[in-house]
Structure 1
Amino acid sequence: MNIEKLQQALDRVHEAGLAGIVAEVRQDEESWEGAAGVADIDTGRPMVPRMRLRVGSVVKTLTTAAVMRQCEAGEIDLDKPIGHYLPRLVPGERGATITVRMLLGHTSGLADYLPYAYPSLRAMPVVAETSPESIADNQFTRFDPVELIAMGVAAPPVCAPGGSPGVYSNTGYLLLGQLLELVTGIDAERHITDSIITPLGLTGSELPTDPRLEGLHPKMYENWFGMFDPPRDFSVFDMSWVGPAASLVSTVADMNRFFALLLAGEVVSPSSLEQMQQTHPVIAFDGSTVDYGLGLHRTQRPGLGTFWGHDGSAWGAGAVSMTSEDGRRQVSLAVNEQRWNRLDASGVPQPHPIDLALLEFLGLAMAG
């Protein structure tokens, strides 16, 4: 592992314009952690590797693991319709058709509730016609997950249940949170903490109930494609708008530890992991198509092999975590700035030097 080259590549991400970044790379028994840039633009406080950041949808893999464990215990059947468990939340024909497996793999056809909870984003995916006003307006809003689910269920379907490609939707993962609460008797965040986060020793991770983070963390800057100018710090934010779908706070070390244990068969059974790794195409929020299983992405890099993991985004922060199929190579990174791209005349986000620098760092780290 060439530590000097890794640090230089990380520095280039900051030099390309990103506020700050932290990363941990593991190869066999070696590990390296690094940081570049600033945790606070105003004071120049530097980023440090063990900082805690919001890592967004990375938590979907933890939520999936919790669901799979309940399947192993006989409490949940992946192929039963969600209406069997939660008939009032998904009534009628869709409740009888959409299975738990479809929710985990984003093939339920349920629309995402976000544009309905945040009205200024209603024009998504036409970014140029949106406004970030409702993001700021809801900084301290305490959302009820049942009300958010109702928004997604009431919206026009985005595909037929079980259709291909699937369409990424947080609505499904809030439903999975309600399912976990039904079968365990405690809220999903507490169950995921007690069954996954704490036993696996993820000491820097939590599903917070307070808008303010504890411990060492940076400010987190949201650009919304240049519509916040200067970028707005949203490190204080009520994350009830995503709950078990995207509210996780973690460290790069914890993300690597979790995915290493998962792929080593120490989190769910081999048969559960095999089902999580059965992939299909899913259309992501940005319009790209990802190779998605049950709570897991598959990434194939020419000459480097197959990697499993997840990425995530929250207001002002985001993360990527990938582990090679043989478990020998890992990279996790987290950033404290989001949506830095600017829009062209047609409203399409344009490539930014940050994008290329991130890809170069990831390629170097994945190559070992």
Structure 2
Amino acid sequence: MTPGRLLVLCTMIFSAGCVRQEASPQTACVEGALDQPELADGVAVFTALEGVGEARSGWLNSRDGQSVLAMASLTKPLVAAEVRRRVQAGSLDLEQPIRDLLPGAALAPKTASITLRQLLQHQAGFDRGAGDPLFAYDPPSCSRAAREVMARPPERAAGQQVLYSNAGYCILGEILLKNPSGVDPTMIRALQSPLGAAGGWRGSLRQLHAALYATLPLSELPAEPALPDGSHYAYAWRSWPKSLEGPRWSHFGRLPGMLSLAVSDGEGSLLVAHFTGDPADVDAAGAAAAASLWSCMK
């Protein structure tokens, strides 16, 4: 950018030249960590000593913590938190099968016995290797994906392995919508959207941080079966072994052109971030960004 153009932009934004308040050491650390290969427009909102902090990768970045954005799969921890609330209240039981949770639904016999816990932990046996039912149609339809996978047996035996499944969370969305009492209106809109419980939540990073922070402390669920790296899913969050460096809990969200992430110690420290970009290896890019950002939270 030429000096003249920078001056024009500074004048437009600040009306009195380029003046910027000095960032705290933690904010400066997060700003640096947001500068990730293959990702751009990074914004983060995080718990800080002074309350809630915010950082951007490049202070002329037009996005901030108040921008309304799609958060993709960061919807899932919010859905799982509502399920957990109902389990704790006694209105749901983790070992209830789908047949009891959605009476009247068209269910294949093997699918009918899949439990609430298996849906939460991506252990229902739904294998999207041949194509994700959520994106089988244009526009996507979470409710249709739920109906389709319920009407056929799972591709793998339930409870035997972890297979990340959007369709499994679409079923959880149907369970919540059957009795939406007490569900936040923002979540209702997400559940009724095309991406539904799998990824339909929209809002600002500050709203997302507040919503996820309200679910702390996080709760564990049985760790077996686990993923090859030793991690497993509890209430939608990926739970990492305590012996590893990095965040204790994490989750990524991905749609074309964007990546979102949340990292937490599960107690009182939480960071959420949003980027634009289409990295060649989304998992690697997300893991690198999460590790770098979490180093600022210690």
TM over 0.5: yes
Identify the structure with bigger relative contact order (alpha carbons < 8 Å, sequence gap 6+). Answer: 1
Supply the AA of the counterpart residue of 1:336.
Answer: T
Assess, with a 3 A threshold, how the Cα gap between structure 1 residues 6 and 115 changes in structure 2: closer, same or farther.
closer
Is residue 5 from structure 1 mapped to residue 26 from structure 2 by the alignment?
no
2:148 to 151, 154, 159: 151
Q: What value does the CA root-mean-square deviation take over the aligned residues? A: 3.6
1:251 to 188, 204, 208: 204
Is residue 23 from structure 1 mapped to residue 73 from structure 2 by the alignment?
no
Q: Which residue of 2 aligns with 1:336?
A: 276
Q: Which residue of 2 aligns with 1:193?
A: 184
SS of corresponding position for 1:91 = coil
Q: Which residue of 2 aligns with 1:307?
A: 248
Q: CA deviation at 1:169?
A: 0.9
Assess, with a 3 A threshold, how the Cα gap between structure 1 residues 88 and 255 changes in structure 2: closer, same or farther.
same
Alignment size in residue pairs: 273
Supply the AA of the counterpart residue of 1:207.
Answer: A
Q: Deviations over 1:37-80 (max 9, x none)?
A: 69xxxxx9733332222111111121122223333444322212
SS of corresponding position for 1:167 = coil
Structure 1: distance between partners of 2:244 and 2:230: 21
Structure 2: distance between partners of 1:71 and 1:94: 24
1:279 to 205, 223, 228: 223
Q: Which residue of 2 aligns with 1:50?
A: 66
Q: Which residue of 1 aligns with 2:10?
A: none
User: Which runs of 5 or more residues in structure 2 are unaligned?
Assistant: 1-24
Structure 1: distance between partners of 2:204 and 2:28: 22
Q: Deviations over 1:106-148 (max 9, x none)?
A: 11113449534545xxxxxxxxxxxxxx7xxx2xx37371x32
Do 2:123 and 2:159's aligned partners in 1 also have CA atoms closer than 8 Å? Answer: yes
Q: Which residue of 2 aligns with 1:226?
A: none
Supply the AA of the counterpart residue of 2:184.
Answer: T
SS of corresponding position for 1:294 = coil
Assess, with a 3 A threshold, how the Cα gap between structure 1 residues 167 and 47 changes in structure 2: closer, same or farther.
same
1:175 to 127, 148, 171: 171
Q: Which residue of 1 aligns with 2:214?
A: 261
Structure 1: distance between partners of 2:255 and 2:155: 23
Q: Which residue of 2 aligns with 1:109?
A: 125
TM-score by length of 2: 0.74
Structure 2: distance between partners of 1:322 and 1:81: 31
Assess, with a 3 A threshold, how the Cα gap between structure 1 residues 303 and 93 changes in structure 2: closer, same or farther.
closer
Structure 2: distance between partners of 1:172 and 1:359: 25
Do 1:58 and 1:319's aligned partners in 2 also have CA atoms closer than 8 Å? Answer: yes
Percent sequence identity is: 22
Assess, with a 3 A threshold, how the Cα gap between structure 1 residues 306 and 90 changes in structure 2: closer, same or farther.
farther
TM-score by length of 1: 0.62
Q: CA deviation at 1:179?
A: 1.4
Q: Deviations over 1:294-340 (max 9, x none)?
A: 2222235767576234321223222111121342x322111122x32
Is residue 66 from structure 1 mapped to residue 82 from structure 2 by the alignment?
yes
SS of corresponding position for 2:236 = coil
Q: CA deviation at 1:87?
A: 4.6
Q: Deviations over 1:180-211 (max 9, x none)?
A: 22234x7xxxx6324x869xxxxxxx6286xx
Assess, with a 3 A threshold, how the Cα gap between structure 1 residues 359 and 208 changes in structure 2: closer, same or farther.
closer
Q: Deviations over 1:260-292 (max 9, x none)?
A: 32124xxxxxxxx64x44434566xxx987421
Structure 1: distance between partners of 2:266 and 2:82: 21
Do 1:106 and 1:282's aligned partners in 2 also have CA atoms closer than 8 Å? Answer: no
The equivalences for 1:100-139 within 5 A come to 100-112=116-128, 115-116=132-133, 118=135, 138=138
Structure 2: distance between partners of 1:178 and 1:263: 24
Assess, with a 3 A threshold, how the Cα gap between structure 1 residues 109 and 208 changes in structure 2: closer, same or farther.
closer
Deviates more, 1:97-106 or 1:70-79: 70-79
Runs of 4+ in structure 1 over 6 Å off: none
Structure 1: distance between partners of 2:53 and 2:123: 37
Is residue 32 from structure 1 mapped to residue 53 from structure 2 by the alignment?
yes
Q: Which residue of 1 aligns with 2:4?
A: none
Supply the AA of the counterpart residue of 2:276.
Answer: N
Do 1:305 and 1:324's aligned partners in 2 also have CA atoms closer than 8 Å? Answer: no
Structure 1: distance between partners of 2:174 and 2:163: 21
